[in-house]
With several copies, the nearest count.
Chain A
Amino acid sequence: MCLGIPGRVVETYTEHDVLMGRVEFGGVYKRVCLEHVPDIVANEYVLVHVGFALSRIDEVEAKRVFAFLEEMNQLDDLEAHSP
């Protein structure tokens, strides 16, 4: 449900007292409502659904799955080396 994709905030502005922004998706720019990610700053990423930012993407958390994969790699190496 609910197509949501990460986009990079390029700039912010207000319109009718609502926080809006220009957000980039792989080189394409779109107007997005940022009212619910009020602390966002340029170059941060937001998760956008129907032109509305639902949350900020957390860069640290984003790497966790790779840390986990890395662990598995080391596990593999261990297994590979210990017979």
Chain B
Amino acid sequence: MSEPAGMLDPELFGACPVPQSRYDQIVLGHGGGGLLTNELIQRLFVPAFRNDVLEALEDQATLRFGTDNGVKAPRIAFTTDAFVVRPLFFPGGDIGKLAVHGTVNDLAVGGARPLFLSAAFILEEGLPLADLKRIVASMRSACDEAGVTLVTGDTKVVDRGKGDKVFITTSGLGLVPEGRSLSIRSARPGDCLVVSGTIGDHGIAIMSVREGIEFETVLESDTAPLTDLVRVMLDACPSIRAMRDPTRGGVSSALNELAEASGVGVRLDEAAIPVGAEVRGACEMLGLDPLYVANEGKLIAVVPAEDAERLVAVMRTHPLGRNAALIGQVVAEHPGMVTLRSIVGGERVVTLLSGEQLPRIC
């Protein structure tokens, strides 16, 4: 997601790297995973903390710790995410499950074997202990399923009206095998893009139970730990160059970040992108584009063209990859940009989500 260096040139953008959109306050869109989020990261966080690892803007930092004895130490992947999903319990999951999967997946798509988690809870006064218990039990079983151990944690309580029942921040540690190096910077023209299944399921499941938009249909989130799928993929196809889980901001954000980071163009084929019937129905009804809807438990992989068919075939043997599909190509044209060939043959640009997704009248 890093931009060409010139874009952050203080000469060009003034000495103050605060986002220069029309907002001088945080709005929901800053958390939407799209353009405003991108601006906040690029203009506020990156300049403040400037260092190579952070600037890579991978979903996880890969670290090597020096040893006393001079032995080459293992590479450790480190990632964090805060989870603020509402409602706490939704069809197919809950905030606890999500908090485990989200962090496990950020490690997995970086090529690491997820091992340890931390969890910090921010609880609002008045939260029923029974709800907390249910969330924590769900986290435990998600940890077990993903093969990780929660080794440290913290709990804070805030005044009623100063929080929203439960927020959970998980951080994760994983081991990156020697020689493995997945990075969103390494996509090359000619590579293929593979998605592991239908897109938009999680975001629409959450929206379907949200106040004001509720459907009379129970749509299930697709949240799942990707550890095992990733293992199968990398075993079969060590040539995979990069993976990303297209969470907030959806496929659009993940691919725009990839295009930016690798300095390549991305060209999607709308007809090839798997979208479930209900997600399509909901998107048509609300005027949303599935490319911008959040996913959990899905990934996008960049793979050399010669291995793409085989990779898709292997993924389809895995329960979490049975709808895997080749959805587009990496191209040399329009670097930093994602385009899409529509089902009727026209072409358009897939930009970053601007603000957050709102149901439309028109």
Whether B278 contacts A28 by the Cβ 8 Å rule is: yes
Instruction: List the B side residues contacting A75 at CB < 8 Å.
Output: none
Whether A3 contacts B216 by the Cβ 8 Å rule is: no
Whether A26 contacts B362 by the Cβ 8 Å rule is: no
Whether B281 contacts A27 by the Cβ 8 Å rule is: yes
A24 to B277, CA, bound (A): 11
Q: Distance in Å from the Cβ of B208 to the closest Cβ of chain A?
A: 8
Contact of A13 with B by CB under 8 A? no
**Contact residue range for chain B?**
10 to 19
Contact of B284 with A by CB under 8 A? yes
Chain B contact residues: helix, strand, loop or mixed: loop
Instruction: List the B side residues contacting A31 at CB < 8 Å.
Output: 216
Instruction: List the A side residues contacting B277 at CB < 8 Å.
Output: 26-27
Contact of B287 with A by CB under 8 A? yes
Q: Distance in Å from the Cβ of A82 to the closest Cβ of chain B?
A: 28
Contact of B215 with A by CB under 8 A? yes
**With contact pairs A25-B282, A26-B277, A28-B285 given, residues A3 and B215 touching in the complex (Cβ less than 8 Å):** no
Contact of B217 with A by CB under 8 A? yes
Whether B285 contacts A25 by the Cβ 8 Å rule is: yes
Q: A-contacting residues of B (Cβ < 8 Å)? A: 208, 215-217, 219, 277-278, 280-282, 284-285, 287, 360-362
Q: B-contacting residues of A (Cβ < 8 Å)? A: 1-3, 5, 7, 22, 24-31, 48, 50
**Extra pairs beyond A26-B278, A30-B216, A30-B285 (9, CB < 8 Å):** A3-B360, A3-B362, A26-B277, A26-B284, A27-B281, A28-B217, A28-B278, A28-B282, A29-B215
